[in-house]
Structure 1
Amino acid sequence: MNIIGYTRVSTQGQARDGYSLEYQEGEIRAYCEEQSFNLIHIFRDEGNSGARLNEDEVLIEV
Structure 2
Amino acid sequence: APLIAAASGPLGTNAQYLFSLDQELMRLGMKDDCLNELVTRVKALLEGQGCEGQLRPGFA
| TM-score class normalised by the smaller sequence | 0.3 to 0.5
- The answer to which structure has the higher helix fraction is 2
Q: TM-score, normalised by structure 2?
A: 0.38
Larger Rg: 1
Highest relative contact order (Cα 8 Å, sep 6+), 1 or 2? Answer: 1
Q: TM-score, normalised by structure 1?
A: 0.37
